[in-house]
Structure 1
Amino acid sequence: MAKRSRPTLRRRLLGRELRRLREETGLSQEEAARALNYTDSTISRVEQGQLPNYHALRAMLDVYGLTVDQWQPYLDMYERARERGWWQAYGVDDRGFIALEHEACAVWEYQPGYVPGLLQTADYIREIFALSRIKHPRRWIDNQVAVRLKRQERLTADPPLRFHAVVDEPVLHRVVGGRALWRAQLRRIVQLSELPNVTVRVLSRFVVAPDGWNGMFIVLSFPDADDPDMAYAEHSSGSVHIERKDEVTGCRLTFDHLASLALAPTESIALIERVAAEL
């Protein structure tokens, strides 16, 4: 069900281009491997997104029939695939959720317990980590706050990330960090919901035990049609990446079901504003 790593989008794009070039020459993976003195599995891994070294890439382009003057677009793709993501400066590697979110063009998130990360204020983030039963040093928390705020830049980037959240109503009434902090957090949700690419719906507490309401999950969609949607879920001891098509489809259908039961966006924001005003 779950996979812990997934090559970045740029590496997958390069891998698909190399597969296309190989197929256009009429070579099977086994034939290409023999010509390059590689194993079949090496060719397969490269085509699935594992980055070859520079000289291996040049050898593949040669075997696939490209003349030197035709190499540059693929060398440019290679250099882009080698670029470090911003998250690595914060000690986060390419195998986690952040790299996937960075590549996505659309995200659907259901949250029964917390404000979605893309809508959180710095004070809320800090308070959530401070309340954790696992105590972290101040420096670690500062790093996590910086990472989460950096992620939020996708909402106003060009092109912006399309973000649709369904939040369980009890989240709005669970005051975190005191009334002033919580009021500011609720107003931040309202502010971000004004962006044309952000939709926030509240699942009323009067909706009784709908399917899928008992755990958070996120579905991500990517700009390349060949790159399938995937899902992500967190639990008490970690998280999972979900890539099986039927399971990802199930998550998306569950999200759509919850969204259909939730208040309309305008009603949801009105409710959030009322809760903030009553604090």
Structure 2
Amino acid sequence: MTIEDAAARLDKHRNSLYRIEAGETKVDVHLARTMMDVYDHYAPDLLDQVRDALAPGWWTTYGLRNMGYVDIETEAVAVRELTLLHVPGLLQTEDYARAVLESGQRWSKPELAAHVKVRMVRQRRLIAEDDPLHLTALVDETALRQRIGSSALMREQLEYLTMVAEIDTVDLRVLPQTIGAHAGQRGPFTLLYFPDPAEPPLLYVSYATGALHSEDPDQVNRAKVLFENLRGLALAPAESVALIERVHAEFE
């Protein structure tokens, strides 16, 4: 069945179906039932999944909407993240997070406070007993030296990194400047893994005007290979902490 045929039988414009297939528009329960009839394919748990997807995310209690990445991360069990200019959000102090968010977009004071709070809440999963989140973070040394806010703020952030590096769910590794140019400098990215082994990892890439979410096997596999290659170039966890401590001393 072509998308034009399906759109006509569903009383939808084909662009609406394209947006649904791309994950840009959510499906309601009525449309899901109709689609199963039109496609002559019944999925027993699909309607429950639709209801779950339509339920407000936990971050809405802070007055925020459309937190696409947070929605995905909430479902994930493991995150592999490469960062170049900033410390990963899951490892930021409150003051550092506020400074980064302020530099990226103009927020009202309530909006900024809400985004900072959500970022702090996300970090709780790193130490949660139930449903913990495992983070492997590759951080370019540039991010450690990039001054965000005051020297005091940077010292606090670097001290915090040395502490969270001790958490069992955190694997923090620094890509030192001594390795020179590397393939990861083309841009930061994140890989997210989910509880069901049959569910493919998702590649997330943020850019100036939006973000890319991809489950394309080729793109995901290339990102996985790149991440593993970079992890081989990075310092071991203990050596990474030692470097962080040296950079900390330079902010004194």
TM-score between the two structures when normalised by the length of structure 2? 0.79
Within a 5 Å distance, the mapping from 1:37-52 to structure 2 comes to none
Q: CA deviation at 1:144?
A: 1.4
Structure of greater Rg: 1
Map of 2:170 onto structure 1:
198
Q: CA deviation at 1:236?
A: 2.4
User: For the aligned residues, what is the CA RMSD?
Assistant: 3.4
The one-letter amino acid of 2:181's match is A
Within the candidate set 37, 61, 64, 1:91 is matched to: 64
The yes-or-no answer on 1:269 pairing with 2:241 is yes
SS of the residue corresponding to residue 212 of structure 1 reads helix
TM-score between the two structures when normalised by the length of structure 1? 0.72
The one-letter amino acid of 1:154's match is R
Q: CA deviation at 1:259?
A: 0.8
The one-letter amino acid of 1:92's match is R
**For residues 201 and 64 of structure 2, what CA distance do their matches in structure 1 show?**
26
The one-letter amino acid of 2:71's match is A
Map of 2:121 onto structure 1:
150
SS of the residue corresponding to residue 144 of structure 1 reads helix
SS of the residue corresponding to residue 226 of structure 1 reads coil
Map of 1:213 onto structure 2:
185
SS of the residue corresponding to residue 115 of structure 1 reads coil
Within the candidate set 173, 186, 208, 2:158 is matched to: 186
Within the candidate set 29, 44, 54, 1:53 is matched to: 29
Map of 1:30 onto structure 2:
none
Q: Which runs of 5+ in 2 are unaligned?
A: 1-5, 15-19
Map of 2:3 onto structure 1:
none
Q: CA deviation at 1:128?
A: 1.7
% identity of equivalent residues? 37
Q: CA deviation at 1:277?
A: 3.1
* 8 Å CA contact retained: 1:213, 1:258: no
The yes-or-no answer on 1:244 pairing with 2:216 is yes
Map of 2:106 onto structure 1:
135
The one-letter amino acid of 1:218's match is T
SS of the residue corresponding to residue 199 of structure 2 reads coil
* 8 Å CA contact retained: 1:232, 1:240: yes
Is the alpha carbon distance of 1:81 and 1:173 closer, same or farther for their aligned partners in structure 2, counting shifts above 3 Å? Answer: closer
SS of the residue corresponding to residue 95 of structure 2 reads helix
SS of the residue corresponding to residue 206 of structure 1 reads helix
The one-letter amino acid of 2:179's match is V
Q: CA deviation at 1:120?
A: 0.6
Q: CA deviation at 1:213?
A: 2.1
